[in-house]
Structure 1
Amino acid sequence: MKPRLPISLALFMLVLVVIGCSNEGTVDTESTEWKPEKPVEMVAPARAGGGWDTFARVVSNAIMEQGLMDQTIGVVNKPGGTGAVGWAYIQNVNDPHHIFSTSTTMVFSMLAGNSDYNWDDMTPIANLAADYGIIAVRADAPWETLDEFLQDYKENPESITVVGGNTPGGFDHVQFISLAMEAGIPMEEITYVTDQSSGGLPILLNGTVDVLSSKLGSGAVAQHRAGNIKILAVLSEERLDSEQLAGFPTAVEQGYDTVFVNWRGVYGPGDMTEEQVAYYEGVMRDISESEQFAAIRKQFGWDDLFMGSEEYTEFIRQEVETNSAIMEKLGLLAK
């Protein structure tokens, strides 16, 4: 005769069986959450001091200062090819611990054929801000307004050289060509040079070129405050409401309808899981909603433009469609 289990022990074992059965087929949500297991690298696919670099550093610093990651996050620069070198690096490493700063320039650069990769090869995580285009000249330049400059340029195009931080077909180039063509200046008469290494400001200041086509967040505001350059126009629909930036006139108010906004966000490699995307999206949302980042937006003249991964993905598709049409019209779309 087999010995009987004590009633209390038998009941205990029955409870365990019931619990085990009730949990069968369920998912432990904590086990599916993803967090970085080592330091995170925020890649700026450009030189130090440019727009991608500045954005990467302010975001990374805010993450560290607010303690939003258990792991550290630091910025690594991978300049070259208007982003192409950095994107190749991200895809070759293919590790969710390597994410990168990006902007509208990415779409223009890929449409121009500068990279072997495109927007569908990598993962949109979140967008945090909108950074408007600018047209600037040295403080001692003879032009005080955008219209004065464009009228002079129309009459003497061979005497004026324009610089931007992107190769032909990039954001800086396309925005200037769009503005010049609106003013009646044929594209073939525009002399545009690229300064990928320093974004154009140094060679504007030393007199090598006459005009800079860039963005507010690329260092131009600081040079304006120092009295070294004049910002003739911001390519926004209306004047920015920041106290520090409200004095900059728009191209629209000067009679030109050219508006160019450079959104700024964060992407990751192509093989990211939903859990990895969700983790970074949450961190970026916390950054975007913080008082610290509100002050940063005000400092650089960026507008608040947060989008999570799903919304950002659809937004990029629309950007590609719109900018493809612009690039084809200008004859800059890669075949």
Structure 2
Amino acid sequence: MRKIFILIVSMFILLTACSQTASTVSNEDKEWKPKRPIEMVAPARAGGGWDTFARVISNVIMEQEFMEQSIGVINKPGGTGAVGWAYIQKIQDPHTIFTTSTTMVFSMLAGNSQYSWDDMTPIANLAADYGIIAVREDAPWDSLTELMDDFKENPEKFTVAGGNTPGGFDHVQFISLAMEAGIQLEDISYVTDQSSGGLPILLNGTVDVLSSKLGSGVVEQYRAGEIKILAVLSEERLEADSVSQFPTAVEQGYDTVFINWRGVYGPGGMTEAQVAYYEDVMRQVSESDQFAAIRDQFGWEEMFMGSEEYTEFIRQEVESNSKIMEELGLLN
């Protein structure tokens, strides 16, 4: 009888210990918080769209104290994001997250990276940026129609620059617009300027046209009187005072609309608790007055999506953009 009693007591202690361990693990998983400073990776050069977005988010987080740990930005440029994504996947650390946008989908569809959206974890989307077509202030074209008509007549005289490699967002949006205008794909001379996004070589006369995004520094150059923004590729004119004067391609007779959503991803294999933590932080960023003012400054629109909604949104983006890339002969 004594042996049976001892056995029962031992089993009770063991089960209690196991239960406490499981409870501890469960509570830790539910209440995950960073244990050290966060690394926010911008998979591109300093000053570009991903970098600007990363620094904006990090500044809001720090100034509003949305995290107990500090958060800093590092740049991993190259391959239209490929270098940064390889870095993220190599270290596989939930303390390292990264900014992303529509460019990620186009770049991966073009085969620029060995990784895909499925290898990483969607956390939240925070804003909608839009594509633009710009020329120098002293250029002879004052509208998108004038530019495209001249381009169609004299395609050999034009060179277009973008910050992405062929198959990236900047390239695809211009090709889509040009083909709608009746310009043949083989007549389009496109050069990539990943190091500076295309603005310097537009301003020094190396290229004639810039295909880019509002959030990539063009608004500042417009204010400085250096460039003309001939069209924003949004469905309607944007409401923010800083960009409401720019005409859309739609109002000039074109159906081309290119939205560049901007969000935050993490490495693959993140736990639900880790995703929930960052999603909550990003929601606070999105809802803050400070970020609202920044959206207005850059001409971004509010477009918050939590992880679950963002995941489904990306699936739809991959499907629709795969069709576009295939039609243009750019699908890898």
Superposition TM-score, scaled by structure 2 size: 0.93
Q: The residue matched to 1:86 in structure 2 has which SS?
A: helix
> 5+ unaligned residues in a row in structure 2: which ranges?
1-12
Matches of 1:26 and 1:97 in 2, distance apart? 24
Letter of the 2:122 counterpart: P
Matches within 5 A, 1:1-335: 27=23, 30-32=27-29, 33-334=31-332
Alpha-carbon separation, structure 1, partners of 2:99 and 2:28? 29
> How far 1:274 moved relative to its partner?
0.6
Corresponding residue for 1:6?
Answer: none
Counterparts of 2:203 and 2:21, CA distance in 1: 67
User: Which letter does structure 1 place at the counterpart of 2:329?
Assistant: G
Secondary structure of 2:165's partner?
A: coil
In 2, Cα distance between the equivalents of 1:277 and 1:76?
Answer: 21
- For 1:333 and 1:287, locate their aligned partners in 2 and report how far apart those are by CA, in whole Å: 35
**Matched residues, number:** 315
Hey, what's the Cα distance between the residues in 1 that align with 2:57 and 2:72? 10
CA distance in 2, matches of 1:166, 1:210: 17
Query: 1:31 is aligned with what amino acid?
Result: E
What is the DSSP-based 3-state SS (H/G/I as helix, E as strand, rest coil) of the residue aligned with 1:168?
coil
Find the aligned partners of 1:215 and 1:275 in 2 and give their Cα distance.
Answer: 34
**1:260-293 alpha-carbon deviations (Å, 9 max, x no partner):** 0000000000011111000000000000001011
Note the alpha carbon deviations across 1:15-54, whole angstroms, 9 max, x for none: xx9xx8xx97984664331111111000000000000000
Structure 2: distance between partners of 1:175 and 1:36:
39
Alignment CA distance shift 1:25-1:302 (3 Å):
same
Measure how far apart 1:244 and its partner are: 1.5
Partners of 2:273 and 2:303 in 1: CA distance:
23
1:174 Cα offset (Å) = 0.2
What's the CA shift for 1:243?
1.2
Give 1:151 shift. 0.1
Question: SS of 1:38's equivalent?
Answer: coil
CA RMSD of aligned residues (A): 1.5
Question: In the aligned structure 1, how far is the partner of 2:46 from the partner of 2:21?
Answer: 51
* CA distance in structure 2 between the aligned counterparts of 1:303 and 1:247, rounded to whole angstroms: 16
Q: 1:98-139 CA deviation, whole Å, 9 max, x = no partner?
A: 100000000000000000000000000000000000000000
Distance in 2 separating the partners of 1:111 and 1:63: 32
Q: Give the fraction of aligned pairs with identical amino acids, expressed as a percent.
A: 78
Letter in 2 for 1:186: Q
Contact 2:242 2:298 in 1 (8 A): no
Rounded Cα–Cα distance in structure 1 between residues aligned with 2:91 and 2:311: 22
Which amino acid in 2 is paired with 1:179?
L
CA distance in structure 2 between the partners assigned to 1:73 and 1:272 by the alignment? 18
| Per-residue Cα deviation, 1:188-230 (whole angstroms, up to 9, x for no partner) | 1000000000000010001100000000000000000000000
Between the aligned partners of 1:93 and 1:117, the Cα distance in structure 2 is 14
Report the residue type matching 2:126 in the other structure.
L
Which has the greater radius of gyration?
A: 1
